[in-house]
Structure 1
């Protein structure tokens, strides 16, 4: 695991210390790791929303079968598993 040094205003440092004191996080590293995870999730959701809107705007409508939905669910499961495995290797 790599280390990153950052400089923060005192008000932000105090806020982080409050979060640690509340027991929400054990260390500042845990706090920042959670912030990065949330940011990644938010950006992925925005990307998916963009793709969905592009699909809706494509104009081409195709009926979905139960098999189509099953295939999509399986592809999502595989992608999530791959992303989870990649995140654990750091």
Structure 2
């Protein structure tokens, strides 16, 4: 595993160290690794949502009304209930 040294303000250092006191993390490195993992997952989710938004915008403007969309959604729900 690679080593990286970082500088933190005293308040952040204390917060990281406090996270290890309840036993959830073995050490400060575990806290930082978990924070990075969470940020990576968050960034992936944001990128996925942005891709969906881009796909939707690229598909153009629908000619269906809200009532058409609602009717179709309710029909899908009814079909799932019959199948399940």
TM-score by length of 1: 0.62
Segments of 5+ residues of structure 2 without an aligned counterpart are 63-84
- 1:3 pairs with 2:3: yes
Residue 11 of structure 1: CA displacement? 0.9
Separation of aligned partners in 2, 1:22 and 1:15: 12
Residue 3 of structure 1: CA displacement? 0.3
- Residue correspondence of structure 1 range 1-90 to structure 2 within 5 A: 1-59=1-59
Separation of aligned partners in 1, 2:59 and 2:7: 49
TM-score by length of 2: 0.66
Separation of aligned partners in 1, 2:33 and 2:44: 17
Residues paired across the two proteins, number: 61
User: Which of the pair has the greater relative contact order for Cα pairs under 8 Å at 6+ separation?
Assistant: 1
Q: CA RMSD in A?
A: 1.5
User: Who wins on radius of gyration, i.e. which is larger?
Assistant: 2
Moved over 3 A (4+): none
Residue 36 of structure 1: CA displacement? 0.7
